[in-house]
Amino acid sequence: MLDDFILRALAAGIGIALVASSLGCFVVWRRMAYFGDSLAHSALLGIALGLMTGINLNLGILIVCALFAAALIWMQQKQVLATDTLLGILAHASLSIGMVVISFMGYPGFDLHSYLFGDILTVQPQDLWWIFGGGVVVLVLLVFYWSSLTLMTISEDIARAEGVNTFIANLVLMSLMTIVVSISIRIVGILLVTSMLIIPAATARQWANSPEAMAIIASVFGVIAVIAGLLTSMFLDTPSGPSIVTAAALVFMLMFSLAMLRRRYSG
């Protein structure tokens, strides 16, 4: 019989893997990994907001990540600076401010390490509500906007010609990334959260023959990485977040090597 904390960890990890891996396909296709990293960095300011105001930390992270995305969109529209420059400024400023606030206020019992690198074994029932609530929202919107987002990935000009509102579609994609990043922090941490978006998707890309197949295969690889990483963490007493990411990286290397061999001997 498995303990409750292990069942919660499995449920949380599998839930995140299914959502993050599917959305990660668009992160890989559209080369948005840096945006994901920047969102994750801003989460530390959200944690500081939650600690200062007493609100749920997941809500604080979600609020700050949403404000980060909104500020980026506004500054992109105003053409203030290049996008990568804006991302660098906003991400590192919010990370630094959050760290300063947390250090200055001195919150007893707060484990910063678990938020930087994740600790899936400490997931509480209320965290599951956030993970699965946010996950359902992401999956529903992802299915609804799938064709528009896929068409935009090919060409925004073609998407506009087909009647797609590209501004709304981009806003939806950023919003989905905001939700996924905010609910994934407890699993793999601020510094590693983007890996759950890009590694399973990059692994699936070697084997998929359609966008839909890539999303499904990526979800499978994501779940495998979570289970393998969680088992490693339990039996070898290693950090859970890095263990999950290490498992995902090993799966990527294995599947990439097999794909290379397949192409070599089939062509």
Q: What is the pLDDT of residue 19?
A: 94
Q: What is the pLDDT of residue 36?
A: 85
Residues of the chain with pLDDT under 70: 1-2, 80, 107-109, 267
3-state secondary structure of 141: helix
Q: What is the pLDDT of residue 1?
A: 54
Q: What is the pLDDT of residue 217?
A: 95
Q: What is the pLDDT of residue 99?
A: 86
Domains of the chain: 4-258 (1.10.3470.10)
Q: What is the pLDDT of residue 251?
A: 95
Q: What is the pLDDT of residue 256?
A: 92
Q: What is the pLDDT of residue 267?
A: 60
Lookup: tokens for 178: 């905001």
Which amino acid appears at position 103 of this protein? Answer: S
Give the 3-state secondary structure of 180-237.
Answer: HHHHHHHHHCCCCHHHHHHHHHHHHHCCCCCHHHHHHHHHHHHHHHHHHHHHHHHHHC
